[in-house]
Chains A and B, each alone.
Chain A
Amino acid sequence: MKRQDWTSSLVWLGFAVLICTESLRLPLGSLREPGPGFLPLLVGVILAALSIISFVQARVGSSADRKGPWDASKRWKNLLWVLFSLLAYALALETLGFLLATFLLLVFLFRFGMEPQRWAWAIAGSAIASLCCYAVFELWLRTQLPGGILGF
């Protein structure tokens, strides 16, 4: 099996232990009348057991290491940019308002997401896309999108 399996199974084992300790703080009830902590604890214990099995399988199996998960990632910088922009959008949405925030996000993604598009294209495309979304979601479907500093 692959080396990546034992790192990931250790992470899940840690998560399972966390589930168990946190479940123990809830009333467990009895078998006759299981309480709110009963199922999470049960699941935590099973998850821990499975992680250990997975860990052992990964160690015992032949260590014919194939390509690690990160080798192929040439675009990991783009990936971080995209994640960063999504988080920034979530945090700025209510202050900037839907139209402005969306426009900025799209320009950024067109320009820095994968392959840089031309500025003119990126700006025009983003403007059209934001306005269309505004029309569909706010005006037609009546979703309450935040107005923000532009006030609408």
Chain B
Amino acid sequence: MDFFSNLQLAFSVIFQPDNLLFCFIGCLIGTLVGVLPGLGPVATISLLLPSTFHINPVSAIIMLGGIYYGAMYGGSITSILVNIPGEAASVVTCLDGYQMARQGRAGPALGISAFGSFIAGTLATVLIMMIAPPLARFALEFGPPEYFALMFLGLTVLTYLASGSMVKALMMACVGIFLGTVGTDTISGIERFTYRSYTLMDGIGLIPVIMGLFGISEVLFNIEEASKQEIYQTRLSNLMPTLRDWKDSIFSIMRGTFVGFFLGILPGGGAVIASFASYAVEKKFSKHPERFGSGAIEGVAGPEAANNAASQGAFIPLLTLGIPANVVMAILLGALLIHNIKVGPLLIKDHPSLFWGVLGSMYVGNAMLLILNVPLIGIWVKILKIPYPILFPLILLFCLIGVYSVNNNIYEVVIMILFGVVGYLMKKFAYEGAPLILAFVLSPLLENALRQSLIMSDGDFFIFFSRPISLLLIMAALFLLILPLLPGLRRRRQGGDLD
């Protein structure tokens, strides 16, 4: 199959009416949660996960994917207008976007972020189409040691990139792996840490844990912290960037796309890192770096392109290797497993309509988002004005229904509330949730790969170092673990966050 017949398959899947509908719903909800601060794509996707059990897996993944990249579009709206990032990947957009809005240029800022995201999203989709199939063929040669090494690297990258202390992030990864071992052991059939609880026999559910850590805890945190927000009063008259704006930002968009895409593929990377990296790159490339922070349009265009390209690049490791690059992909992996789809290098071959359909939906989804965002911006601004005291009971209710409806099991609701409290305390004490969730999802895969590797090698840990690919991956991971210990780099890493 060549590029064009694949493209044809992609479009034939996405233009089926129900897929088109679910793609639209996904983009719409994605923009909505991107706009609403305090409800990110992670919580929303886990919230809607149960409702996708009844639809076919292709539509389900198309919709959930749409939420993810839709949120990237929506998040920029709040960053620019209110100086509050709708979700983490839009934090950088605040820096110059809000300044542009204050200078009366909210329109072009919103416009360029929508167009930039569109261009990046479309280019990223083409890149996925070219890279994914050969990568999947390459991955066919992976055995358990390579898989173990790859997952180990993914977890290490995520903890390395964590914003706070790396030790704490590693601790969270350990807790996640442990939580993943609860339940019946798949190899021996022995129950672990279940204490005869019927609910725990199948393991701790992914959905209660995620909704607790990211949904409930977020609400608890906001109840305490939320302050009155003020929307920048501005008339949004002209959304179209001028020719000069285009000239200033088109190369930023291109650079942002490539930076974002490759950081997105990297396990543990993702949209947040990509947007920060792109901002740094733009500042380096600019002839007037001093303008950054006071309304430079490149500072909006680059990161916005990057976070979108990254959110699409992140699909590559999931769809070719079966390894999620970030938390959202981890939830999508959960969704695929629930639909009994075997994820791994064979996915493209076994489920071509799923793989190409999801890619096709990205082309179409990006176009839909452009339409949703540019002419309909007024509606989103209105939604921004819903006060949090009215919003939060509804968010809590969705979490409760969402978790209950998975198995009609009230104890899973209790588990969710418990993890809500844990997540709240983790936020208070500056522990990150992302490494925990990624480790939790990878835990069963990681354990199988580790145990199978050791069986293969007769108990010799050297197996991870004697095979070239796994050696390379393990060395990269160890390098990242040692890096923060080097004195010169430690300070740079800590100063890396944009304060």
Contact = CB atoms under 8 A, between A and B. Distances in A.
A115 B389 contact: yes
Interface in B444-481: 446-447, 450-451, 454-455, 458-461
A83 interface: yes
Interface in B308-324: none
A72 B223 contact: no
Contacts of A142: 54
A113 to B, nearest CB: 6
A110 B389 CA distance: 7
B132 interface: no
Interface residues of A, number: 67
B248 interface: no
A151 interface: no
A142 B408 CA distance: 12
A34 B181 CA distance: 14
A87 interface: yes
B26 to A, nearest CB: 16
A5 B397 contact: no
A76 B181 CA distance: 34
Contact of A34 (B167, B408, B431, B451): B451
A50 B178 contact: no
Interface in B81-100: none
Contacts of A33: 451, 454-455, 459
B455 A32 contact: yes
B223 A30 contact: no
B128 interface: no
B371 interface: no
- Name the prevailing secondary structure of the A interface residues: helix
B48 to A, nearest CB: 10
A14 interface: no
Interface residues of B, number: 59
Contacts of A15: 175
B185 interface: yes
Contacts of A16: 174
A44 B177 CA distance: 10
Given A50-B167, A54-B167, A110 B224 contact: no
A105 B446 CA distance: 41
A36 B174 contact: no
A145 B405 contact: yes
Interface string A112-150: 011101000000010001000100010001111110000
Contacts of B376: none
Contacts of B193: 22, 40
Contacts of A86: 216, 396, 400, 417, 420
17 contacts: A32-B459, A36-B181, A39-B446, A44-B174, A47-B171, A47-B178, A79-B223, A90-B400, A90-B413, A93-B410, A105-B400, A110-B390, A113-B392, A114-B388, A137-B405, A144-B405, A145-B405
Given A36-B185, A79-B223, A105-B393, 11 more contacts: A4-B430, A35-B188, A43-B174, A43-B181, A70-B428, A82-B223, A86-B396, A90-B413, A90-B417, A105-B400, A129-B397
